[in-house]
Each structure stands twice: as C-alpha cells, then as structure tokens.
C-alpha cells in the first residue's frame, strides 16, 4: 500500500513556489499523459495538445464538470525527454493568491492527479536520466536524511495530537473490520453464527473523522485568513463601514498596484482571524458606468471572497428595489452574503427580515454585525484551543475525505445488505487512506485484532 507512493507512472502535482500570497505562482505537473489530461480542463485544448516541447500556451483552466473558470494561466509545455523531470510535464503559471492556488490544486486532484511526495520530482528527474551522478548522490542524500531523522515518513509529518486522534479513529475502523473479517476468515459454524455488523461504530468513526475534517476550515481560517468584500450602491455607506471595521485594530490600507482603482484593499484582524477587506469600486460606482474589465475583476473578487457584506441604504427604498433586480441583486441569495440595512439613524422604515440594522455613522448595531461576521466565518466552530487538533494541509484533508467517503459507502452497503466481502473493500479503503497519514496498516494487524478479540477456530 505504501510503496505505490513512489510509483513513477502516477500523474503528480505540486506547488513549486512558496506557499503564500504573491503576484504569480507556479504549479508543476508531471507524468506520461498529463498534457492530455490537463487539456480536458483547458480553454484551448488543441493549442495545448499540439504544442511542441518548450512552448508556452496561454488560456483558462476551468472545472470540466461545472465549466466554471478557475484561473487564467500560462502553461509551459515539456514533452518526454525535456524539462526538469525528463518526463512529459507542464509548469502552470497562475495568479499567486492562496485561494486561487488552492482552487487550482483542487482542480488537478479532481482530474485524477495526486500530490507529489517530498523529493518525488527530483526522484523522477533522476529516474529519467536528467541528472548526473553527483546530482543523484544529492537525491540519495535528501531521501536518506529523511529516513535517518524520522522513524517513519508518515509519522514525521504529523503533530503528536493529530497522530493520536487518527490512531483512535483508525482503531475504531479496525474494530469494525475485524468483525467483518472474522466472518470472512471463519465459517458460520466456526464462530457460532453471524456477528452483528457494528454500524454504530462506523457512524461514530465517521462522525469523528468528519469533525476532524471540519477543523480544516478553521485551521485554514486562522492560518491563512479570510476575505470580506463590501458591496452596495454609492451612498449606502460602505466607506463608513470600511473605516469602522478598520478602526478597531491596527490596519493597513493600500491601493492595488498595476490596475485602475478598481478596489481598495485593507488588512485587519477580527477576533483573531486575519482578514482582508475589499471595498469594491466596481460596485461602489453606478452600475451603468462600469467598464467590462472592472466588472470582471469585481466578479472575480466576489467569487473568491469568504464573506460578502451587502449594504442597503435604509433611506432609499427605491434604490433598494432596483438593486434587487440588478446583477448585484443575485448576491442576496448567496449563502456568503450578510445583508446590512444601514443608516438606521435616518431611516423611518423597518429593516427587512434577515438583515442587520446598522448605523455605521454612530456605530449602533456594529457589535452585533461583528459577532455575525465571526460566527459566519467560523461556521459554528469555536476558535481552536492551543491543544485542539486541526487539519492544516490539503494532503491530510484529501486522505481524510477519501476515508470518510469510504465509510459512508460502507454504511450504505451494510444497510443495503450487500455481502460482507464487498463491505470489507470500503473499510480497507478507509484504513488505507488513514494509513497513508499514520503509517501502514497491514493484513497482519487485522489478524492480530481478530485473534485477540474473538474466540475462533474449530
């Protein structure tokens, strides 16, 4: 199970530039067939497929399922025998925002590629004869230093608390699997009939796994921060709210370079969460006068935001009615949107149902709004304690998602009275996924569990 991670026929991907915000980022993919696969998500598949080696192709990568654009990219194409690894590969130059990079990595994964192991690109480069002997020694050095310092690669990557948590869940799954396997290893009469399938244990393991998975959002939130976009018409009072949000803590306001003044960006911290706030010029100005380019950027911004504050002018009921019919009106139905009914100090009308009444000018209602912002960002999860286990990286998350999906399938199959040997496949899948994080689970482990838990044998 473990050894397949160095299987050099897999298509692999990895971010080649540092994990953080910058103007540009490069994601590398490698492996025979990666160009054909990438073309299925590329706006100009023919250009990519026909590109000779060392050429670059410009276009848009989109999710093939939804057709939704993920990023505008430049692809550097390397055919077999060229490039860093010496096998067919592509370097994707994309925009360097963290949500953008994450979206692209997600796309590659959904296409069927897997994240590269540490040192794997270099390993492949050597395997394809792209390095001389001294360089090869260096590869060996890299890999061997890992084996010297870490008892297990997998262990090394995990914090102690997360490891313990995973082991606990794994042992639950092992319990379930041993109940299944004992019935597959021994005949009905050898163990005195059927053992009841421990569905509750599966449910419990899955809910613990899902709870762990939910911390991924929290971990990401506190680690990488969130984006909030202010939207609304010119006189709704966005600037006042913008300043109010920034007034609370140390903030930096900057203009975005290299563009027309589309939006203003500022960084602040709310309730411990690093936040970027965008005051969108595109939406601040009247709709008609917006250039297509500005509109596109704004939409992109909205797309990437974690939260949208839509300000309605409490004194302008007509304006509001118009807006609901406009493109911005769609935002009302966006689950990320908080509707703010501003200027309660001047307005006589009642705030519409579901909106937050606020007087940005006097600060009335601001505390409630702030609380709502935090609640929405945390999605119900509390701020992590220092000792709370949190999933931090997407590789861990991917493995847990795979395990969780397998357990869901296992529950479904068990309830549909599908034979146990098929149910066992899903349980093994779940164990294997967790094993990729905590170290291998072998069939000997399962037998060990059976022998210690059941009185078996004729």
Instruction: Give one DSSP letter per residue of 171-233, joined into a string.
Output: HHHHHHHHHHHHHHHS-GGGTTSPPPP-HHHHHHHHHHHHHHHHHHHHHHHHHH-EEEEEEE-
Minimum CB–partner distance for residue 161 and other proteins (Å): 24
Closest CB to other proteins among residues 156, 362: 156
Minimum CB–partner distance for residue 157 and other proteins (Å): 12
Minimum CB–partner distance for residue 187 and other proteins (Å): 4
Minimum CB–partner distance for residue 48 and other proteins (Å): 11
Minimum CB–partner distance for residue 433 and other proteins (Å): 13
Q: Crossing angle for the helix pair 394-415 and 199-224, nearest 10 degrees?
A: 160
Instruction: Give one DSSP letter per residue of 230-257, joined into a string.
Output: EEE-GGG-HHHHHHHHHHTS--EEEEPT
DSSP 272: T
Contact 426, 406 (CB under 8 A): yes
Minimum CB–partner distance for residue 292 and other proteins (Å): 21
Report how far residue 383's alpha carbon sits from residue 272's, in angstroms, rounded to the nearest whole number.
Answer: 8
Contact 115, 109 (CB under 8 A): yes
Closest CB to other proteins among residues 344, 436: 436
Closest CB to other proteins among residues 160, 419: 419
In degrees and rounded to multiples of 5, residue 87 shows phi and psi of: -110, 170
Minimum CB–partner distance for residue 73 and other proteins (Å): 11
Closest CB to other proteins among residues 59, 96: 59
Report how far residue 242's alpha carbon sits from residue 342's, in angstroms, rounded to the nearest whole number.
Answer: 13
Closest CB to other proteins among residues 320, 436: 436
Closest CB to other proteins among residues 160, 457: 457
Contact 277, 245 (CB under 8 A): yes
Contact 395, 158 (CB under 8 A): no
Closest CB to other proteins among residues 16, 136: 136
Q: Which is it for strands 337-342 and 356-358: parallel, antiparallel or unpaired?
A: parallel
Token pair recorded at residue 399: 């493995």
């Amino acid at each position: 199970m473990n050894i397949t991670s160095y299987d050099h026929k897999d298509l692999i991907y990895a971010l080649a530039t540092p994990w953080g915000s910058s103007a540009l980022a490069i994601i590398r993919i490698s492996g025979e067939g990666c160009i054909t696969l990438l073309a299925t998500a590329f706006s100009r598949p023919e250009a990519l497929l026909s590109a000779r080696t060392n050429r670059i192709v410009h276009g848009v990568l989109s999710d093939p399922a939804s057709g939704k654009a993920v990023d505008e990219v430049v692809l550097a194409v390397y055919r077999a025998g060229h490039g860093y690894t010496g096998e067919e590969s592509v370097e994707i130059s994309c925009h360097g925002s963290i949500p953008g990079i994450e979206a692209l990595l997600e796309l590659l994964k959904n296409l069927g590629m897997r994240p590269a192991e540490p040192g794997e690109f270099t390993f492949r480069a050597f395997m394809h004869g792209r390095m001389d002997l001294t360089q090869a020694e260096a590869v060996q050095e890299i890999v061997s230093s890992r084996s010297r310092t870490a008892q297990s690669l997998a262990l090394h990557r995990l914090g102690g608390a997360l490891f313990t948590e995973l082991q606990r869940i794994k042992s639950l799954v092992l319990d379930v699997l041993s109940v299944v396997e004992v019935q597959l290893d021994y005949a009905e009469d050898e163990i005195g009939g059927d053992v009841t399938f421990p569905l509750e244990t599966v449910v419990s393991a899955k809910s613990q796994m899902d709870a762990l998975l939910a911390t991924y959002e929290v971990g990401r939130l506190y680690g990488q921060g969130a984006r909030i976009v202010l939207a609304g018409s010119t006189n709704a009072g966005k600037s006042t709210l913008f300043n109010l949000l920034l007034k609370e803590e140390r903030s930096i306001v900057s203009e975005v370079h290299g563009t027309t003044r589309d939006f203003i960006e500022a960084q602040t911290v709310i309730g411990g969460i690093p936040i970027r706030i965008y005051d969108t010029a595109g939406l601040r100005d009247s709709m008609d006068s917006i250039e297509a380019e500005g509109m596109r950027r704004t939409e992109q911004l909205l797309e990437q935001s974690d939260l949208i504050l839509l300000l309605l002018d409490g004194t302008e009921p007509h304006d509001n009615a118009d807006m609901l019919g406009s493109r911005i009106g769609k935002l009302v139905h966006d689950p990320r949107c908080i509707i703010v009914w501003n200027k309660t100090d001047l307005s006589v009308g009642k705030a519409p149902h579901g909106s937050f009444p606020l007087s940005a000018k006097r600060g009335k209602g601001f505390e409630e709004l702030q609380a709502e912002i935090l609640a929405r960002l945390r999605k119900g999860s509390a701020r992590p304690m220092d000792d709370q286990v949190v999933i931090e990286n997407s590789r861990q998350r991917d493995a847990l998602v795979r395990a969780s999906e397998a357990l869901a399938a296992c529950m479904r199959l068990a309830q549909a009275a599908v034979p146990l040997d098929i149910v066992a496949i899903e349980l093994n899948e779940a164990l294997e996924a967790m094993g990729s994080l905590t170290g291998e689970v072998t069939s000997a482990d399962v037998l060990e569990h059976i022998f210690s838990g059941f009185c078996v044998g004729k």
